[in-house]
Structure 1
Amino acid sequence: MTAAHGAPSDLTARLGLEPGARAIILNADDFGMCRAANRGVVPLLEAGHLDSATLMVPCAWAPEALAFAAGNPAVDVGVHLVLTSEWTSYRWRPLTGAGTSLVDAAGYFPTQVVDVETQATEADVAAELTAQLDAALAAGVDVSHLDNHMGSVYGLATGRSFLGPVLRLAAERGLPFRLPRSLERLEDTGVDPGGSNAQQVLDTATAAADELGVVIVDRLWTHPFALAGEGTDDVESYEDVKAGFLDLLRAVGPGVTEIFLHPMVPGDELTDAVDFAAPKRGYEARLLADPDVAATIAAEGLVRVAWRDLRAVQRGER
């Protein structure tokens, strides 16, 4: 299962795909974060424009998202494991309470990944992430996989990761985890790769995942999180964002690449909740339903798969 650096793993073969297949997972992050997220993600899941979504269990609009996922078992929904709360005016707290190492002075998750890495204890992280997964399962969600909000478990800010408890949880529950084998395009995700030894850290983590039998992807891609030129006359348009996304699709190589976006419905709620890039979240909702995206996927011969397919591989169901 371990691939040479820069080469895809054997995951496409394990999925039963042709040699050299270029497989993608179109995933929506931040499901349940706010009503605008739910209103963006649900229609895209229902229409088949997304392959999966990942749900932020501690957030205010998670109950609506959990109820949708439980009531629509055919859709692929994972848990977006949360240890940060990044916005100024809209915050959320741990399920395990405010009396732990997981909160800032106001009792919320910290805004920055570096604060998680420097102050959180492994025991508190393990308890909180288990609680988030258990809450989704208790709500009736057929959880397809785990991933992580803002890369807060990867150790890319200071080198101190929480991948040990995450991978153990994924192995125990038979769930794949969003850990890329390559740092390729990682800067576009908004995650700081963490210096010159970052690939070595990632190689160690992927070896641990392979040892535990946790299925991971070859690459993790998105486009830049921010809206270029926001607040200026040179702000990028929908057509600019779309052109960049189509180029990203054309650049996908052999193996399994997750491409994640944050589709949300623009409006006052979203603008009030987030500090920047609210228009881009609206562009992403529009983008995923754009016929030109579907046409490019078809023209490139990209094969769409879902995290539930990877879960079946991990559980020996394929």
Structure 2
Amino acid sequence: MQTKLIGVLILLFSWLTFPVVSQTYAEKLGFPKGAKVIIFHVDDTGMSYEANEGTIMSMEEGLSTSCSIMMPCSWVPDYFDYLKDHPQVDAGVHLTLTSEWKGYRWGPVAGKPTTPSLVDPSGYLWPSVREVVQHGNPEELYTEIKAQVDKFIGMGFQPTHLDSHMGTLFASEAFLKKYLQLGMEYQIPVMFPGGHATWIQQESNASNLNVEQLQAIGKMLWEAGLPVLDDLHTDSYSWKIDPAIEGDDDRIQAYKTEKFIETIRMLQPGVTQIITHATNSTPHFERISPSGSLRKGDMLAMMDPKLREFVEAEGVILTTWRELMERRRKVK
């Protein structure tokens, strides 16, 4: 969903024009020329117990290197208990402005009286990105995303990065400005494909102008002292599970692993974040979302020795947002 919104959004940024640069951000950060550098990222941590389990398992036993936490959700304290014993885990804020599931919902961290334009008649965050764009006041939106970051910090940790649940912060120029503003003000890296953006072009059908604007925003973030992604892959949520293999973990794992291998083969050099939704899905999780098999497939793929062997054979470098920021601080 994020990628489809980017193509529409970037056309609005006529106030940013810079020439295209040939050097990747991976090279600027000191990685070898021509290297594929990947963050395997887990979204939706804190949404449920199963999401927390999937995050932990895919990071401890698999290839996942980073995650981001949905601060309005009920299972956030559970994951922060884990972080207390694992403080070096790469964990950011999954800035959340929608509450999309029918029977399990959440409201704004800042509270309804402070952010009335962000909630539906029931007092929960709007169910869809479209409704957030239709009703949301950008200043109230900034209040909410800042409150989510402050809550994270108040729980005793520094976020390694910021990103956007369901791509909502990429859905309008005004929202994106607030997202970038927050990252630059707090000096926290933000997920943004500001390099060659090869994959994101394919996902969003972006034009050359769009790519130039993506790179312009990337240049702005870099000059503000933040690391920048060369590319972003968000397509794994569209890899639906064939009903014929539902319930067969081995076949689901094999399918998802092959999809990730195909993706890595097609990536261009540079730093790319690959988004997953690794979840140790259970029948209980199916009461929250019908996406349990898809999400469990991501977890199983991250833990698949075949994927690890492929990554090692290809010379892929795995990294984290923490490492990117540490490298950025050393660049003059």
Equivalent of 2:91 in 56, 65, 77: 77
User: Per-residue CA shift, 1:9-55, capped at 9, x if unaligned?
Assistant: 54222332111111101111111010100111112323363211111
Number of the residue aligned with 2:180: 167
Offset at 1:215? 2.2
Answer yes or no: is 1:216 the counterpart of 2:231: no
Higher relative contact order, chain-length normalized (CA < 8 Å, sep 6+): 2
Number of the residue aligned with 2:34: 20
* Maintained 8 Å contact 1:41/1:264: yes
Which runs of no fewer than 5 residues in structure 1 stay unpaired? none
Number of the residue aligned with 1:115: 131
Give the Cα separation in 2 of the matches to 1:211 and 1:67. Answer: 36
Offset at 1:71? 2.9
TM-score (normalised: structure 2)? 0.83
Distance 1:269 1:47, change over 3 A: same
After superposition, where does 1:43-82 map in structure 2 within 5 Å? 43-47=57-61, 49-82=63-96
Distance 1:233 1:78, change over 3 A: same
Structure having the larger proportion of residues in helix: 2
Give the Cα separation in 1 of the matches to 2:71 and 2:259. Answer: 31
Distance 1:47 1:317, change over 3 A: farther
Offset at 1:233? 4.3
Number of the residue aligned with 2:278: 263
Number of the residue aligned with 1:152: 168
Q: Secondary structure of the residue that 1:24 maps to in structure 2? A: strand
Give the Cα separation in 2 of the matches to 1:186 and 1:51. Answer: 21
Which residue identity lines up with residue 285 of structure 2 in the other structure?
L
Offset at 1:148? 0.8
Distance 1:296 1:222, change over 3 A: farther
Number of the residue aligned with 2:45: 31
Instruction: State percent identity of aligned pairs.
Output: 29
Number of the residue aligned with 1:296: 310
Offset at 1:242? 2.1
* Maintained 8 Å contact 1:176/1:215: yes
Number of the residue aligned with 1:228: 240
Offset at 1:240? 2.4
Offset at 1:263? 0.7
Offset at 1:283? 1.1
Give the Cα separation in 1 of the matches to 2:60 and 2:82. Answer: 11
Distance 1:193 1:124, change over 3 A: farther
Offset at 1:302? 0.7
Give the Cα separation in 1 of the matches to 2:281 and 2:312. Answer: 29
* Maintained 8 Å contact 1:174/1:314: no
Number of the residue aligned with 2:14: none
* Maintained 8 Å contact 2:231/2:273: yes
Number of the residue aligned with 1:277: 291
User: Per-residue CA shift, 1:187-239, capped at 9, x if unaligned?
Assistant: 998xx679997546645543443443332201111444145365x54879512
Number of the residue aligned with 1:176: 189
Which residue identity lines up with residue 108 of structure 2 in the other structure?
P
Q: Secondary structure of the residue that 1:54 maps to in structure 2? A: strand
Number of the residue aligned with 2:12: none
Give the Cα separation in 2 of the matches to 1:198 and 1:15. Answer: 24
Equivalent of 1:42 in 56, 63, 69: 56
* Maintained 8 Å contact 1:32/1:65: yes
**How many correspondences in the alignment?**
309
Which residue identity lines up with residue 109 of structure 1 in the other structure?
L
Q: Secondary structure of the residue that 1:79 maps to in structure 2? A: strand
Distance 1:194 1:112, change over 3 A: farther
Offset at 1:3? 8.7
User: Over the residues paired in the alignment, what is the CA RMSD in angstroms?
Assistant: 2.8
Equivalent of 2:322 in 305, 308, 312: 308
Which residue identity lines up with residue 128 of structure 2 in the other structure?
Q
